[in-house]
Amino acid sequence: MGSWTYRHWSVAAAATLITLVLLGVPTVLLPNGFFSREIEPTWWSYPVWIVSAVLCGLLAATYVGAGERESRPSTRGGVGGVVLTWFAIGCPVCNKLVLLALGASGALSWFAPLQPVLAVLGLGLLAVALRARLRTARSCPIPQS
């Protein structure tokens, strides 16, 4: 990241802000009139939300200047990390998928205690995806044209 240009950092900042909104609005970490939340967010939801947004922004910046012939690892880990983070910071009884699978009592007794684990796994996947993208860019740089 030491060789990143202003463009890289601009994309990182923009992607971070977009991720903050895309994760914050449906999980109601950003108060809004579109969604509601039955259970208040946990204390760790906010740091997980912010760290995941920063990691997503940095991951997005690794695609700046990517050419067609470029061969870098995919970011399936990044997408998986965002999905796990979204499940981790969301309201356990507001998530329709969780309610369909476990019911309201299952969501509180089974899913809610797993949310911190999902947060750690999600952040880990994002960090691994970012590390893979950065290592590959450093070991096989694309010539500037």
Q: Which residue range(s) make up the domain with 43?
A: 6-139
- Write down the pTM of the prediction: 0.81
* Residue 1 counted as domain residue: no
Read off the pLDDT band of 73 (50, 70, 90).
Answer: low
* Residue 95 counted as domain residue: yes
- Selection from 13, 84, 9, 88 nearest residue 45 by Cα: 88
Average pLDDT over residues 18-25: 94
User: Which pLDDT score, from 0 to 100, does residue 74 have?
Assistant: 59
- Tokens 């240009």 belong to residue: 5
CB atoms within 10 A of CB 129: 25
* Residue 103 counted as domain residue: yes
User: Which pLDDT score, from 0 to 100, does residue 24 have?
Assistant: 92
88-134 per-position pLDDT tens digit: 888 777 767 776 777 777 777 787 888 899 999 999 999 999 999 88
